[in-house]
Every structure is written in structure tokens, then in C-alpha cells.
Structure 1
Amino acid sequence: MTTVAPATDVRRHELAEFLRSRRERITPEQVGLPRGPRRRTPGLRREEVAQLSAVGVTWYTWLEQAREIQVSPQVLDALARALLLDSSERSHLFALAGSTDPTPYAPCPSVTPALRAMLDQLSPVPACIQNSRYDILAYNTTYGRLLCDLDAVPPEDRNCLWLMFTHADWRAALVDEAEVGRTMAAKFRASMAEHLAEPAWKALLKRLEAASAEFREVWARHEVVTQAGKAKHIRNAQVGMLHLEHTNLWLGPAAGPRLVTYVPLDEESRRRLEILEGLHASHGLSAPAPAAV
């Protein structure tokens, strides 16, 4: 009589093989680690993956040995980033682990073709669609160059909070970056009150706390602020100082997606936005790709 292994056993062994194969294809240089003179292992060592993912070496070793252990979505997210997985590989990782991806790289269904067309029509006024977690779901050409080269940012990192606390160009464009960061963290805390148990929110918070001492400091204050428009002063790297009015237009319930616009407050700012839009067109840059949820 033939014995068939349980589906969970098969998945664990497939997961172990997949992790091993992804680990062995990455060079230390790709993740900022020294190669060292006595390296025999192809790719990364297990302890290096564990270090990059902030998990225990023994725990990660057991995972590659297909042992029966529980893996949280947050740990899988950390492993996916450490192993430089693309969107297809990431989806495969979560499927093998039988887990739901807290930050799936899929087009947001709430961003319809009509909304994308509206964003384009608003240019040169910078405009984007965000959700309450500050993920940037879609944007027009001038927003894509307002604070940094957003097209060059991986879709999974197109989040205003993440960029505020980790992206040098984004931070440099903000005239009062410390106050902006403090206010954004307070708005995020107020929004998160309705999403405390959701993996995507917890994963973003964990990433921010791990990446930024500044974020940890302002988060510890437990400040809360509601969403509101206000004047913004942005120092664009290509066209100089811009004086803009930040406005939110909710596309559904207040906890859902919103249209964010930056209307110029004076003629000089409008002229500079038109120049910024022209620079984008003159370089033959393609329209921004659909962002992830």
C-alpha cells in the first residue's frame, strides 16, 4: 500500500527547498555584506539570512530543514525582503507557507481607469491616490517627481511614511522634515486605531521601527492628529521652492482611499510645476506603473 505524505509535509519541504535555492543565488555584495576570504557556501550563509531578517539562526535553520514550526506573515515579509524576492517569488513563498501576504503587490481595484485618467488631467498639479496607511496607489507625472523619483522606488516601498523616514531625497525636499515626520506619525497612529489587528498595518509599523530611530522616538510620544489640508513648502531638486496647498478628497469612507492634490499657492509655483511637467515629457519618461495596495 502506498503512503501519501500529508499536504502540509509536502509544502514544508517545498518551502525549505525554495528558501535554500533563493539563498544560494544571492551574493553578499548584493545585500551589503563583505564576502570574506574563506567563503565556501554559494550565495548567503544561513546566519546571514537570519541576520538580515532579524530572526534566530536556529529558527531559520529549522525552516530550511522543513521542521514543523509556525511562521508569521511578518517573518515571511522579512525573509522575502532579505532574499530580494520579486512579486512572483514572494507570492510563491506565502503560498507555500499557507499564509496571507500582508503587503501583496497587486494593482488596487479601487483605482479605476477613470481615476487614473483624472490624475493625468490634473497635471501639472501634483496628485496621487493614497489609502489611510499612506500607501501611494497611483500618481501623475508631477507628483512622481515632486519629492523624489517615485518611478525608481520599488512598488512595495511607495509609502509616504516609509519614504519620509528612510529616503534621503524625499526628506531633503521637505523644508521642515522633523515637524512633517512627527505629524505624519501622529496621523498614522490615529488611523491605525481601526486597524490594530491587520497584518499589513503591523508589518509597516515593524519595518518603520526597525529602520528608523527617529520614527521610534516620535512614535513613542503617542501623539494623534486627524487628517487635514495645509500649506506645504517643498524644495524640489529640479525647479526649486514650491508653495503648495495640500488637500484631501475622500473617495469613499474616511478610512478608505483619498485623492491628494498639491495646488500651487502663487503663480511662480505654478510656473515651476509646469517646468517640472515639461522636464518629465522632454526626457521621454514613461507613465508611472500601477502601484501596489
Structure 2
Amino acid sequence: MDKDELAGFLRSRRERITPADVGLPAGTRRRTPGLRREEVAQLAFISTEYYTRLEQGRAPWPSREVLAGLTRALRLDDAERDHLHRLAGSPVAERLGPSREVRASVLELIDRVPHAAALVTSATFEVIAWNPLAAALMEDFSALARQERNLARRLFLGPHRHGQRLYGVSDLEEFGRYAAARLRVAVARYPHDPELGRLVAELQQGSEEFARLWELHDVTAQPALVKTFDHRVVGPVTVACDTFDITEQGQQLVLYTAEPGSPDEASLQLLSVIGTQRMDEAR
């Protein structure tokens, strides 16, 4: 393990990410470029003290789980992920399950569409990247534990927010069929992934609706092209829903856009202004 090189690499990756990149407010007292150490630690699900020691070259050998968390928090691409593992003295293992790493070009794309709510989901429906408008329309995903970012789990098992099931969207039945079909495809593609197996078992045991859909063995279903979010602050927002496959990663890019000049577009514009801070106050 090259502690000095690892420390320098982590600092350089942290300093290139802005708070907006990960849906965090910039604030007015930010004295360092990029994210703060405590923010990276939060996103990686490790303690601030341990992350600080990593950047100071004083920490013990990081586990593979810690490296995976840092890869996600620092938005590393495949080459950077491999470099991180080598610096930490950890061999890069063959992937058994769906990738949770989003290409840098895709991350840049969702930041370049400020008038659209944009997010990326993994093959298991975990939200793994999003822009600020998606956080304002749906939820501040950065404040959630990883398990709660899974839209399939949220749909079939909860937890429900403010009495709403999955943000009060209008296409719950369609989305349920779509989720079950995509998960069926994911199981065939990643048959040895234990995390995916546990997710499907959890959904089968906890949701009669999912168990019924799973027994259909469907592997194709169409996502909704238009849906309405029942937002707790601005009310109903109807948007076009465009989904794009990132085939080699098993991921999907989802864009929500409103008709130009419509009240729905005005609602999205209002959400882009008030962001997630006002959303928190409304809870």
C-alpha cells in the first residue's frame, strides 16, 4: 500500500468535485475547492476521522467495501477505480454484479441539462447519480442510506414519504411491471451476485405484488412515457419521461422534462430555485 500516493490521489479527486455535483448545497463559508472531507466520508458511508487519516497517509489498509464507497463518493471512472485499488494494495476483482460506477461523460451530461430532472439507475434500480433538479423533484438522495435509494425496494416495500408511495407518481402499476421485468433480466445477466439475489428474495417475501409479477417471468415491459409527480410543495407536476440505456453498464439514464410554457415547466423552474433546502423545512 502506497499511503502517500493514495493520500494525494484521494485529495485530488475530492477537490475536483463541486457540492452541486452530488446534490449538496455550496454554502457561503466554503474555504477549500471541491468537497469537504466530512462530505466525502458521508457519501462513502465511512467515518470522517478514518477518511481524514486516509488523506493524511496514516490510515490502515482500507477494505474492499471502503474502496467501493470511495469509488462511488468520488465518482471515479473504471480506470481511476482500478488505480485506487492498486494504490491501496487491493487486487481489482472481476465484477460479479451490476456496476454502480457512472461514466464521467454521463455525469457531465446530467449536469448540462439544468431544465430537466436527470438521474441514473443501476440494473437493480438503485439511484446512483442525479442532478439538483431531480433531488428537488423527488428527494435529496444524498441524505438517504444506500438501501433507501433503490426505487424497486421503495415501490414494493416502502418506506413511504409524507403518506406517498414512491413520490406519488401516477404510473405505479406500470412501473411495478417494468421493475420486475428488468430485475428478471438482471438476475440472468448477473446470476452469481449475492446482493442482487438478496434484493429479489427480499421483494418476494415482503411484497405479494412483486411475488405475483415475478411469477409471470416477463422480461420486457415498457416504461411510462408521461408521468405525474404529486410534489408536497408545488403540487402535481406532469413530465415527459425519457429513458436511455447505458447498455454495457446495465444502467439507465432517465430525463424528466415539462412541456415548454406549461404550468408544469413553471413548477420545475420553481423547484430549481428553491432546491432541496426548502424541501427539508417542509417535512
Match of residue 247 from structure 1: 242
Deviation at 1:87, TM superposition (A): 4.2
Match of residue 160 from structure 2: 168
Provide, for residues 223-270 of structure 1, a one-character-per-residue CA deviation record: whole Å limited to 9, x for no partner: 3325656122222222121221211223453x5223211121352211
Residue pair 1:126, 1:143 contacting (<8 A) in 2 also: yes
Deviation at 1:186, TM superposition (A): 2.2
The answer on 1:120 being equivalent to 2:114 is: no
Does the residue aligned with 1:270 lie in a helix, a strand or coil?
Answer: helix
* Paired-residue identity, %: 21
Query: Which structure has the greater CA radius of gyration?
Result: 1
Does the residue aligned with 2:132 lie in a helix, a strand or coil?
Answer: coil
* Residues 281 and 135 of structure 1, relative CA distance in 2, 3 Å threshold: closer
Residue pair 2:140, 2:276 contacting (<8 A) in 1 also: no
* Residues 251 and 242 of structure 1, relative CA distance in 2, 3 Å threshold: same
Does the residue aligned with 1:196 lie in a helix, a strand or coil?
Answer: coil
5+ residue gaps in structure 1?
1-85, 90-98, 286-293
Match of residue 255 from structure 2: 261
2:269 corresponds to which letter in structure 1? Answer: E
The answer on 1:146 being equivalent to 2:140 is: no
* Residues 283 and 240 of structure 1, relative CA distance in 2, 3 Å threshold: closer
Match of residue 174 from structure 2: 179
* Residues 281 and 164 of structure 1, relative CA distance in 2, 3 Å threshold: closer
Instruction: Give the distance between the partners of 1:184 and 1:247, measured in 2 at CA.
Output: 16
Does the residue aligned with 1:142 lie in a helix, a strand or coil?
Answer: helix
2:229 corresponds to which letter in structure 1? Answer: I
Does the residue aligned with 1:233 lie in a helix, a strand or coil?
Answer: strand
Instruction: Give the distance between the partners of 1:260 and 1:118, measured in 2 at CA.
Output: 11
2:275 corresponds to which letter in structure 1? Answer: H
Superposition TM-score, scaled by structure 2 size: 0.56
* Residues 281 and 210 of structure 1, relative CA distance in 2, 3 Å threshold: closer
Match of residue 196 from structure 1: 191
1:133 corresponds to which letter in structure 2? Answer: T
* Structure 1 vs Structure 2 CA RMSD: 3.1
Q: Please show how residues 1-293 of structure 1 align to structure 2 within 5 Å.
A: 87-88=45-46, 105=69, 106-107=71-72, 109=77, 110-165=101-156, 166-169=158-161, 170-226=165-221, 230-253=225-248, 256-265=250-259, 267-280=262-275, 283=278
Residue pair 1:133, 1:201 contacting (<8 A) in 2 also: yes
2:264 corresponds to which letter in structure 1? Answer: S
5+ residue gaps in structure 2?
1-43, 48-62, 78-100
Does the residue aligned with 2:240 lie in a helix, a strand or coil?
Answer: strand
Instruction: Give the distance between the partners of 2:231 and 2:126, measured in 1 at CA.
Output: 21
1:215 corresponds to which letter in structure 2? Answer: F
Deviation at 1:211, TM superposition (A): 3.3
* Residues 202 and 281 of structure 1, relative CA distance in 2, 3 Å threshold: closer
Provide, for residues 179-208 of structure 1, a one-character-per-residue CA deviation record: whole Å limited to 9, x for no partner: 322332123223432222222321221232
Deviation at 1:141, TM superposition (A): 1.4
Instruction: Give the distance between the partners of 2:252 and 2:178, measured in 1 at CA.
Output: 18
Residue pair 1:183, 1:225 contacting (<8 A) in 2 also: yes
Instruction: Give the distance between the partners of 1:246 and 1:281, measured in 2 at CA.
Output: 21
Residue pair 1:250, 1:257 contacting (<8 A) in 2 also: yes
2:182 corresponds to which letter in structure 1? Answer: K
2:168 corresponds to which letter in structure 1? Answer: A
Superposition TM-score, scaled by structure 1 size: 0.54
Does the residue aligned with 2:275 lie in a helix, a strand or coil?
Answer: helix
* Residues 167 and 123 of structure 1, relative CA distance in 2, 3 Å threshold: farther
